[in-house]
Chain A
Amino acid sequence: MAEYKWPDADKRTLIGKRISRTDGPHKVSGHARYNSDLNRPGMLHGRLLCSPHAHAKITSIDTSAAEAMPGVKAVYIIPDPDREIKWAGEEIVAVAAVDEPTARDAIRAIKVVYEVLPHSVLDTDPKAVGSLARPAQAQKVGDPDKGFAEAEVTAEGLYGMPVITHCCLEPHGSVIEWEDDKNLLVHLSTQAVSSIAAAMAPVLEIPAANIRVKQDHIGGGFGSKFGPDRWDFAAAQLSKKAGGKPVKIFLDRDSELMVAGARPSAYAKVKVGAKKDGTITAWQSESWASGGQGGGGSPPMPYIFNIPNQSKQHTAIQTNIGPQRAWRAPNHPQACLITMSALEDLAAAIGMDPLEFFLKNIELTGPRAEIYREEFQIAADLIGWKKNWHQRGDKTAGPIKRGLGLSLHTWGGGGHPSDCDITIQPDGSVELKMGTQDLGTGTRTTVEIVAADTFGLPMGVVKVLIGDNRFPTSGGSGGSTTIAGVSGATRRAALDALDQIFAKAAPALGAKPEDLEAVAGTILVKSNPAKRLTWKQACSKIGQVPITVRGKNPGPGKLGDSGVGGVQMADVSVDIETGVVRVNKIVAVQDCGLVIDIKTAESQVYGALIMGVCSALYEEKIMDAKTGKMLNPNMEFYKLAGIGDIGDLVVHMMTGKGYDERGVIGLGEPPAVSPYAALSNAVANAIGVRVPTLPLTPDRVLAALAKKGGSNARI
């Protein structure tokens, strides 16, 4: 029986090393095929008619002219039981035609009569929206009155961030075809290959077992691509009407930004109190948020710091914008920005270095206090905190002011259920199958690392097959659950397979199976390494029939864990005459247990920091109050950072003793939590005043400076 554990550090040949992703060359050379690249034989092009109104009743739909157009093969009215449109861009009719221009012409030929209803798209003031603001029960922890009475210093402020969109570079969509009247083939851009069939089956009224789902690569999901969407069902219906021909519907960029994903906003008026020595005594917050019809999440505040006395009240605001979807660590970025900004303002009110202030209160963070302490020291060294930090407001001459800010965060990241099949052939070739998906984070690479390291093989031998729901079931890639799930299942499968190889090879080596180990492409006797078979020779002992072994997560042995902590520090320059913020440097220090591939792990953190810069400085789903439309559903005014805007990114992964023995933990979300607070705090440190809400655009920076008064208060 194998012992289900990770190899000791000195035995790891691939795990924890710096390995380039195996699909990198494929992607950068353009050979990787995304489902949006697919052109199936006989494929029809689907387009969508979407509502120009944010709130309306549909009075009538006339598709006759579209149906009569040459080249139009199917028209499908998307079911909407109450025929009520609740956001601009909501899909109403889908058309499939022989080519895209014909489909677009057909969409223009459809006549929809609307009864336009009043809409509301703004979420910055709960008092302005009447009954659309729905306050929840107030919450109390400890004795807030006593806590504020004990406080010698208090700070009050408004903090918040707007709704942003997921802005996937590969938009949402699919190519769907009926292989016959009972079987559906689905090429969908998804974060959950194994669970799409079950979600589609009841609606299409066919057995889930008849739905095949495939995806080799995905161009971004970030939490917005878990289920099939209404346009995917429309593609399936259009295909059915067109005799099973493949139908492709991928959203246009404007739809992608309007309807296919929004992270809820969050705003809060916060009051915090502390003693002069920095001990935090009380928290009070009045918060509100919106994410469309659902009203948005309720960010867990105060974030991480379990302040003894709290008084909290949250209000959800209903708006006619596209629906919210999970976005990298749902609710955490909002809670983190609000909490860490308020606490940093409190430190400034005391006149205390925020690093000292956060460390002073670090026990309030609970079980990870020591990890944060260690990470803060490393981050401080990497950014030169001692040398570069100054009290609020850079006093040097000239318009460019520099500042430092910090933040900290947490996340779970325990592994999801996952099955992995490994087949070893008598010729020594190895195939690994799993119904998981590579979100671009390196899943393909990391499962190969785990299997190859276990077998003592180099990279390039184990053939990894993922992205197909015919493969063993694996969970969706959400909640940072993938790496621990697939690594656990792969390790268990590989260890069991290796046991079988040992059993077959033992007689030829004149040893017992338990005395063997797999090292550097050989199976050898531990006590006498000269006695060995090459991997190929050992596998030839299998006989004619290959070995297939299934590994599962969860399963025996401790291969993973949950719960991580990370800290980040940012260094910015702000031009106080123009309000333009430039990122000089961001340092991220992160733990995630045992790191499988240091290179792809760092890469995930880089990605999180870049998304952090985007949302801290640029991103905003800008809604027009009067027309109810999104004003920037394009890559021109929905601004994202370019390579020149992100500054110097420094990532330090916590590894080694105290971390590795926890096993594998997810990493996708935690580093995406802190950048906003770290950058906002750095800007406050640079210019001497808080810019209350993100993004930190020139108008907001100048407005904050003007409010404070002083030489730049010119507007």
Chain B
Amino acid sequence: MRGFEYASPTTKEQAVSLLGSSDDDAMALAGGTDLLSLMKDDIVAPRRLVNLKDVAELRGIRLLPDGSLRIGALVTVQELLDNAIVKRGYASLIHAADGITSPQIRAMGTVGGDLCQRPRCWYYRAGFGLLAKDKDGAALVPEGDNRYHAILGNTGPAYFVNPSSLAPALIALGAKLHIFGSGGQVEMNLENFFAAPTSANEKEYRLKPNEIVTEIIVPSAGGWKNATYEVRQKESLDWPLAAASVALKMSGKTIESARVVLGHVAPVPWRSGEAQAYLAGKTISEQVAETAGTLAVARASAMSHNGYKIQLARVAVKRAIMKAAQGGQR
């Protein structure tokens, strides 16, 4: 880790004014569970860290007058898990947060940080850049060891998977994001926040170096069955190999509309239009869930070592639907 300046503002205006025009100038520090390892591994080396933990307005979970839920970006994963409103109505979010099995990371890691953490691609973390190229500019992932890489949206140049645990659940629940920058506050659909980079100087999400995520707004999930299913190799700390979050708007026994979002399978949280379209108007059954899973991976393509993830993604979708149908019990 290189030397850096440390600033600890108390308002979001101050925070933004302390950020710069690039990550080399300054980076925002929330829980630090990812940023500090990136700095130790010399993947990033900001000259200034702007601590957000003293910005009180970034904290707290509360219901808004329209029944939607406001989650501050600095809310920790553990606070999310312990929140009575979240527990009551947002099973898929609880499932996803529960999958972060390290008590230390749950205690320090934040909701905003979960969305803005960087990919775990081992080529990126070894210093080959986000697009993982060797010194001759050749992509390392497609013919390298890509066992944990993308099966959807993997035509390049990005091959990593988005690491967020919470994004698939939040997108399935229709969440919006508030971003604050020098120009004030902007609201965007969380789904639109993520985009696969097309060049080495882009990130996998749309946040300028001098902007911060301030809060996440989740619409009321009344009438929506929702659940997340992660395929994990280990019970203890481990990344999911594939995950799916579903939210099903029910009309009696019939699915009126569905949102199906896959995690850890693409450079972005992957919304499956195919599965969603199929599910509308269906009655939930094992067979329907199975077909939705198959449709969700219809466009998936294997690289040299990750074909198995197609099967895992299919099963994740199927099981998430069945879990939602069963009331989304943990």
Residues of A whose CB lies within 8 Å of any CB of B are 101, 104-105, 577-580, 617-618, 622, 624-627, 629, 631-632, 634, 636-637, 639, 641-645, 697-699, 702-703, 714-715
Contacts and interface: CB of A to CB of B under 8 A. Distances in A.
Interface stretch (B55-63, B205-213, B259-267, B303-311): B303-311
Given A626-B144, A699-B147, A577 B122 contact: no
Which 4 residue pairs are nearest across A and B when measured between Cβ atoms? Answer: A642-B236, A644-B235, A699-B308, A631-B122
A629 B126 contact: yes
Contacts of A703: 308
Interface in B225-250: 231-239, 241
Contacts, number: 90
Given A580-B232, A627-B134, A644-B235, A101 B1 contact: yes
20 contacts: A101-B3, A104-B1, A105-B2, A577-B315, A579-B311, A580-B231, A618-B234, A624-B123, A625-B145, A626-B144, A627-B134, A627-B140, A629-B126, A631-B122, A631-B123, A632-B122, A634-B125, A644-B235, A699-B308, A714-B310
Contacts of A627: 126, 128, 134, 140, 144
A103 to B, nearest CB: 12
Contact of B122 (A578, A637, A714): A637
A715 B310 contact: yes
Interface of B: 1-3, 101, 120, 122-123, 125-126, 128, 134, 140, 143-145, 147-148, 231-239, 241, 302, 305-308, 310-312, 314-315
Contacts of B234: 618, 639, 641-642, 644-645
B3 A618 contact: no
A629 B231 CA distance: 28
A162 to B, nearest CB: 12
Given A622-B145, A624-B144, A637-B122, A698 B231 contact: yes
A628 to B, nearest CB: 11
**Chain A interface mostly helix, strand, loop or mixed?**
loop
**Chain B interface mostly helix, strand, loop or mixed?**
loop
A125 B314 CA distance: 32
A579 B236 contact: no
B231 A626 contact: no
Contacts of A579: 308, 311-312
Contacts of A626: 134, 140, 143-144
Contacts of B3: 101, 105
A636 B120 CA distance: 9
Given A626-B143, A636-B239, A715-B307, 16 more contacts: A101-B2, A105-B3, A578-B241, A578-B315, A622-B145, A627-B126, A627-B128, A631-B123, A634-B125, A639-B233, A644-B236, A699-B305, A699-B307, A702-B311, A703-B308, A715-B308
Contacts of A625: 144-145
A645 B312 contact: no
Contacts of A643: 236
B133 to A, nearest CB: 11
Contacts of A631: 122-123, 126, 145
Given A578-B312, A715-B307, A642 B237 contact: yes
Contacts of B126: 627, 629, 631
B1 A698 contact: no
Contacts of A697: 233
A700 to B, nearest CB: 9
Contacts of A645: 234-236
A625 B304 CA distance: 13
B102 to A, nearest CB: 9
Contacts of B2: 101, 105
Nearest to B310: A715
A101 B42 CA distance: 12
| Residue of A577, A578, A622 ringed by the most chain B CB atoms within 10 A | A578
A101 B45 CA distance: 13
Contacts of B148: 637
A639 B147 CA distance: 14
B236 A698 contact: no
B166 to A, nearest CB: 19
Nearest to B318: A577
Contacts of B231: 578, 580, 698
Nearest to A699: B308
Contacts of A617: 233
A698 B145 contact: no
A617 B145 CA distance: 19
Contacts of A632: 122
Contact of A577 (B302, B305, B311): B311
Contacts of A622: 145
A105 to B, nearest CB: 7
A641 B143 CA distance: 29
| Residue of B2, B120, B126, B143 ringed by the most chain A CB atoms within 10 A | B126
Contacts of B233: 580, 617-618, 639, 697-698
A676 B306 CA distance: 25
A617 B233 CA distance: 9
Nearest to A254: B41
B294 to A, nearest CB: 9
A634 B34 CA distance: 14
Contact of B236 (A578, A629, A641, A702): A641
A714 B314 CA distance: 10
A631 B232 CA distance: 20
Contacts of B140: 624, 626-627
A319 to B, nearest CB: 15
Contacts of B237: 642
A183 B1 CA distance: 35
A86 to B, nearest CB: 20
Nearest to B297: A714
Contacts of B123: 624, 631
A698 B312 contact: yes
Contacts of A101: 1-3
Contacts of A642: 101, 234-237
Contacts of A624: 123, 140, 144-145
Contacts of B302: 715
Contacts of B238: 639
Contacts of A637: 120, 122, 148
A363 B288 CA distance: 56
B38 to A, nearest CB: 12
Contacts of B308: 579, 698-699, 702-703, 715
A369 to B, nearest CB: 39
Nearest to A102: B3
B151 to A, nearest CB: 11
A715 to B, nearest CB: 5
Contacts of A639: 233-234, 238
Nearest to A104: B1
A406 to B, nearest CB: 24
A235 B315 CA distance: 53
A638 to B, nearest CB: 11
Nearest to B314: A714
A553 B311 CA distance: 59
A644 B99 CA distance: 13
B148 to A, nearest CB: 8
A104 B42 CA distance: 11
Nearest to A633: B126
A363 B144 CA distance: 48
Nearest to B302: A715
A213 B294 CA distance: 63
A698 B235 contact: no
A148 B306 CA distance: 40
Contacts of A699: 147, 305-308
A650 B184 CA distance: 62
A715 B148 CA distance: 16
Contacts of A698: 231, 233, 241, 308, 312
A30 to B, nearest CB: 16
Nearest to B234: A645
A95 to B, nearest CB: 16
Contacts of B122: 631-632, 637
Nearest to A252: B40
